[in-house]
Chains A and B, each alone.
Chain A
Amino acid sequence: MADLRSLYQEVIVDHTKSPRNFGVIDTATHHAEGYNPLCGDKLSLFLKINAEHIIEDIRFIGEGCSISTASASLMTETLKGKDLDHATALFHAFHHMLTHDGDCPNDLGKLAVLSGVSEFPARIKCATLAWHTFEAAIANKLAAVSTE
């Protein structure tokens, strides 16, 4: 069961049970809805981005599996205070890690705890849902983003 322990690490279980930055931002500048029709995971992401393209605040609400909830929680922690270019680079690095056997190209910090997901192809979409929703929000896409 070594694989399962690498997937459901303590940090991930902790973020599942107590997701950080869980809530809405009434004065959000950017917002998007994420949905994974395969498992029914839903995510609503709120961002407050200032004129210098810095993410001043980021929060989410929604319901989903452990991986999607923990990933969203870790994403908000990581992205708060970052500028958009840096955030986009992190998304690409994160995506690379999940689709290349957990290989960490950059310093992903806490996000590296999700590297175990790469061993579970059926769950990669769970881990990337929050990030795809983030991408949709900053592109000002109004429609719900779907991982399908």
Chain B
Amino acid sequence: MLDIAKIRADFPILHREIHGQPLVYLDNAATTQKPQCVIDALTHYYQDENANIHRGVHYLSMEATRLYEHAREKVKNFIHAASVEEIIFVRGTTEAINLVAQSFVRSQVTKGDEILITAMEHHANIVPWQFVCEQTGAVLKVLPIDQQGNLLVEQLAAYLTPRTKICAITHIANAIGTVNPIKAIIAECHAAGVPVLIDGAQAIAHTPVDVQALDCDFYAFSGHKLLGPTGIGVLYGKKALLAAMPPYQGGGDMIRTVSFEKTTFNVLPHKFEAGTPNIAGAIGLGVAIDYLQCIGLTAINAYEQQLLRYATASILEIPGVRLLGTAHEKASILAFVMQSAHPHDIGTILDQHGIAIRAGHHCAMPLMAFFNVPASARISVSFYNTFAEIDCAMEALSEVNKIFA
């Protein structure tokens, strides 16, 4: 059992007021709030430890390097990677996917080759592949979903052809919360000789991830969705694949020797980390991982599922609500529309009650088109939320109906 009161005390922002009401933060799929220990780690780094890494012989530089590399070690252990060489620090999930698209996929595909994604992807797992298609003449294929938001896994075999060069799929869909059976999907792709990238942006804070057990080729996630700072994220890649890939960006840190005639590149993981990275961000992410592990992702997942069940039952009692995404297995995300009001009006009315939810297309416009809605409202719950906060949101949704009665 989680001690929610104690957990909430760790998050200073949860104690502020919005429009004179206590903040009810239900937009966790967009970004999570930060515990005091993460905020302190950033301050402490800039106050006492700031220096550039991998360069200086002076004490501070060595200390900053040690802290940065220690954060990499924490990430490696967190997702059960085989080695720290497989952990590339990037700006976030978006950059991680772009890196794989340009460095791994682009050089391998030619006109008519296929890139497979799904109908529930975030724009970050659509647009980078469209770039590769434009650059090479490759074709984007989209594995469909059913009306409940379940991936039509039984159709996967038909979508895996000799021309499929990569399958890029989300672990948990940000807009509707579907949890995909990625282990089985990865196995099926591998049987067809297709490498797999998993977009783990939504999953990483809600479910334990073991990249070796999954056997995924790449796994991408953002620090800010798991209590860490913005501007830091991770690309996990299998060492053999990363080693064979050309660098993504050129600059300092990623080189071994530079002359005007010939440059040689640094070893993994530094080959993919050109320029001074987000050192404080990486350290903050390491602290966020410590914090999450201290609470335990299994306990977090169990509690969030309780909140999801409670919220789902509650929202269906409100007249005129239609849920988008009712997959068999779901994370703590409730996407919905109301007969009486547009999502933006819902968002504004809830905001006046101090309740933060997302309203819009959730960076998944093709999915909105699939459900035939221009936009939707989304409640996304984290382990620091309470049943009382769900009640609060439901009361405000009832008021939406009253205003537009």
Contacts and interface: CB of A to CB of B under 8 A. Distances in A.
Interface of A: 1, 3-4, 7-8, 13, 16-17, 38-42, 63-67, 120, 122-123, 126
B374 A3 contact: no
A66 B404 contact: yes
B74 to A, nearest CB: 37
B393 to A, nearest CB: 15
Interface stretch (B173-181, B325-333, B343-351): B343-351
Contact of A66 (B342, B374, B399): B342
9 shortest interchain CB distances as A-B pairs: A65-B342, A40-B374, A65-B344, A40-B375, A66-B345, A39-B344, A8-B403, A4-B352, A65-B345
A13 B348 contact: no
Interface string B362-405: 00010010000011000000000000000000000001000110
Contacts of B342: 39, 64-66
Contact of B359 (A17, A39, A42): A39
B360 A40 contact: yes
A7 B348 CA distance: 10
Nearest to B342: A65
Nearest to B341: A66
B19 interface: yes
A4 B345 contact: no
Contacts of A4: 348-349, 352, 403
Nearest to A66: B345
Given A13-B404, A66-B404, 6 more contacts: A1-B352, A4-B352, A8-B404, A39-B360, A64-B342, A66-B345
B361 interface: yes
Nearest to A39: B344
Interface residues of B, number: 20
Contacts of A123: 344, 348
Contact of B374 (A13, A16, A42): A42
A122 B345 CA distance: 11
B348 A120 contact: yes
21 contacts: A1-B353, A3-B352, A4-B349, A8-B349, A8-B403, A8-B404, A39-B343, A39-B359, A39-B360, A39-B374, A39-B375, A40-B360, A40-B375, A63-B374, A64-B374, A65-B342, A65-B344, A65-B345, A67-B344, A122-B348, A126-B344
Contacts of A64: 342, 374
Most chain-B CB neighbours within 10 Å: which of A13, A39, A40? A40
A63 B368 CA distance: 14
Contacts of A3: 19, 352
B360 A38 contact: yes
A122 B341 CA distance: 17
A17 B365 CA distance: 26
A32 B42 CA distance: 50
B323 to A, nearest CB: 19
A128 to B, nearest CB: 14
Most chain-A CB neighbours within 10 Å: which of B348, B359, B368? B348
B31 to A, nearest CB: 17
Contacts of A1: 352-353, 399
Given A39-B359, A39-B360, A13 B403 contact: yes
Contact of A67 (B345, B361, B399): B345
A4 B352 CA distance: 7
A63 B343 CA distance: 12
A118 B344 CA distance: 16
B307 to A, nearest CB: 26
B363 to A, nearest CB: 11
Contacts of B352: 1, 3-4
Contacts of A67: 344-345
A145 to B, nearest CB: 17
Nearest to A3: B352
A2 to B, nearest CB: 10
